[in-house]
């Protein structure tokens, strides 16, 4: 079709589509879906070949957040039965990160719930960054700690952080309906602070929160204007106990169209398939690899993901290859510009893949340390998960036939005594 041919030509020239063209991608029919995926796949292969970058999340601090983000299982007032624990010690976090690196992760994403870090928190995370880098040569580290205060971005960069993640999540027009304890402008400012400090900026969105097509296009065009190196695309995980628990409106086909639209608008940027892929793409996950060049390995912050070994098998079976630490993620023109801006002394840092967005938030985590101010309890020890009884899949559908059983709270890995999924 003429639309897709035009979008491919623009993508190969690093030219973004018009808003009308982006909306038209979202409006395509299911009959046209494979054509849309094939067209966006040409753009993805032009700039990233068949490489897939693996990223691994470490939840440094879970729950107890004072912010009211509606999508988040760690939010103020959340009744989601997630793990709750305060800061992991640097050696604990480094041990958790090592599991992801052993599974093939090129980037470790350090996340903590809450509004934003104190200076003491920045010191703590800086020690963790040092510990991870000392034990894992060539691995990138991205921090996601919430809203930054003056000077904190520079301190994280000096500590060795390659990237900083802070998502816009949704359009400016819809933002007040999702969160009231901070503003859209606060988020934009934090992304800009990270860029000014020489870190690779990572900022993305969450789809499935009741937004319109116009909202989706608005946030992706806003991200394009911010020019992050990485754009994580999350699909809402509707946790029971959160305000958006009943938002089950995404289909696998809709999710693929959203990913294709992001790829066309951000042709040469790392597009990360982030939280909620297992819940909403389900068996169509391999098709998404033709659109996104980056995924998370294993579990998310407060929810379980696909088994790490299954992630690797999916990548291989779909004809893609895992990107090594000796490969620069971004195309040369972006990697060179990032290096010139002061980010990175090695190929991986210059690659600037970014940390996967609120895979944590879409998966039920916040971003930034929580101001709970209490004593630091010991990490929670999780019990072995109980086996799913026969027939549970059929019984776990709601009145509309939605597979609500697909949301599984994380009970292993960081903050527990059980081995992580990597």
Which is catalytic among the residues 75, 115, 124, 142?
A: 142
Give mean pLDDT, residues 133-158: 95
Q: How far apart are CA 319 and CA 301, in angstroms?
A: 28
Q: Which CATH architecture has domain 46-362?
A: Alpha-Beta Barrel (3.20)
Between the alpha carbon of residue 299 and those of residues 75, 85, 258, 353, the distances in Å are 19, 17, 22, 19
Active-site residue flag, 69: yes
Q: Around 3, how many Cα atoms within 13 Å sit in the side-chain half-sphere?
A: 17
What b/e sequence results for 258-270 when a residue is b if at least 16 CB atoms lie within 10 Å of its CB, and e otherwise? Answer: bbbbbbbbbbbbb
Strand-pairing partners, residue 200, are 163
**pLDDT of 218 over the 80 cut:** yes
C-beta separation of 241 from 200 below 8 A: no
**In this predicted structure, which of 33-37, 335-339, 375-379, 410-414 has the lowest mean pLDDT?**
375-379
Active-site residue flag, 65: yes
Active-site residue flag, 72: yes
Active-site residue flag, 343: no
pLDDT band at residue 72 under the 50/70/90 scheme: confident
**pTM attached to this predicted model:** 0.88
Q: How far apart are CA 303 and CA 404, in angstroms?
A: 13
3 state DSSP class of 42: helix
Active-site residue flag, 266: no
**pLDDT of 360 over the 80 cut:** no
Which is catalytic among the residues 107, 115, 202, 410?
A: 202
Active-site residue flag, 75: no
pLDDT band at residue 90 under the 50/70/90 scheme: very high
- Provide the strand spans (E) within 284-347: 294-296, 321-322
What's the pLDDT tens digit per position in 395-414?
456 666 666 678 888 989 89
Which is catalytic among the residues 44, 254, 272, 411?
A: 272
What's the pLDDT tens digit per position in 157-206?
999 999 999 999 999 999 999 999 999 999 999 999 999 999 999 999 99
Q: How far apart are CA 201 and CA 203, in angstroms?
A: 6
State the pLDDT at residue 404. 66
What is the chain's mean pLDDT, rounded? Answer: 87
Which is catalytic among the residues 65, 266, 355, 370?
A: 65
State the pLDDT at residue 339. 87
Q: How far apart are CA 29 and CA 256, in angstroms?
A: 12
């Amino acid at each position: 079709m003429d639309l897709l041919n035009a979008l491919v030509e623009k993508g190969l020239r690093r030219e973004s589509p018009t808003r009308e063209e982006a909306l038209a991608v979202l409006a395509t029919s299911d009959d046209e879906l494979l054509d849309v995926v094939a067209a966006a796949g040409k753009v993805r292969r032009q700039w990233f070949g068949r490489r897939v970058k693996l990223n691994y999340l470490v939840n440094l601090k879970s729950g107890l957040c004072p912010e009211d983000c509606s999508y988040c299982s760690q939010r103020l007032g959340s009744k989601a039965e997630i793990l709750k624990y305060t800061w992991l010690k640097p050696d604990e976090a480094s041990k958790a990160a090592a599991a992801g690196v052993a599974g093939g992760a090129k980037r470790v994403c350090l996340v903590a719930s809450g509004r934003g870090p104190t200076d003491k928190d920045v010191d703590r995370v800086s020690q963790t960054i040092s510990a991870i880098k000392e034990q894992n040569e060539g691995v990138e580290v991205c921090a996601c700690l919430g809203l930054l205060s003056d000077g904190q971005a520079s301190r994280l960069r000096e500590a060795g952080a390659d990237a900083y993640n802070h998502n816009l999540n949704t359009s400016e027009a819809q933002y007040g309906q999702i969160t009231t304890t901070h503003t859209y402008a606060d988020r934009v400012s934090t992304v800009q602070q990270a860029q000014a400090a020489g870190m690779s900026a990572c900022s993305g969105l969450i789809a499935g929160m009741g937004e319109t097509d116009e909202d989706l296009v608005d946030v992706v065009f806003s991200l394009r204007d911010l020019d992050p190196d990485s754009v994580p695309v999350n699909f809402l995980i509707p946790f029971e106990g959160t305000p958006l628990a009943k938002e089950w409106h995404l289909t696998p086909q809709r999710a693929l169209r959203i990913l294709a639209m992001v790829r066309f608008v951000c042709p040469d940027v790392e597009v990360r398939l982030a939280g909620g892929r297992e819940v909403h793409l389900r068996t169509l996950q391999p098709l998404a690899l033709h659109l996104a060049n980056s995924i998370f390995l294993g579990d998310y912050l407060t929810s379980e993901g696909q088994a790490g070994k299954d992630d690797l098998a999916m990548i291989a079976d779909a004809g893609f290859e895992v990107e090594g630490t000796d490969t620069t993620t971004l195309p040369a023109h972006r990697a060179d510009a990032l290096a010139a801006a002061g980010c990175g002394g090695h190929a991986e840092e210059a690659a600037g893949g970014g940390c996967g967005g609120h895979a944590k938030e879409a998966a039920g985590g916040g971003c930034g340390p929580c101001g709970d101010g209490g004593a630091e309890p010991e990490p929670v020890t999780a019990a072995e998960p109980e086996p799913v009884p026969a027939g549970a899949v059929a019984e776990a559908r709601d009145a509309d036939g939605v597979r609500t059983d697909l949301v599984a709270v994380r009970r292993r890995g960081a903050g527990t005594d059980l081995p992580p999924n990597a």
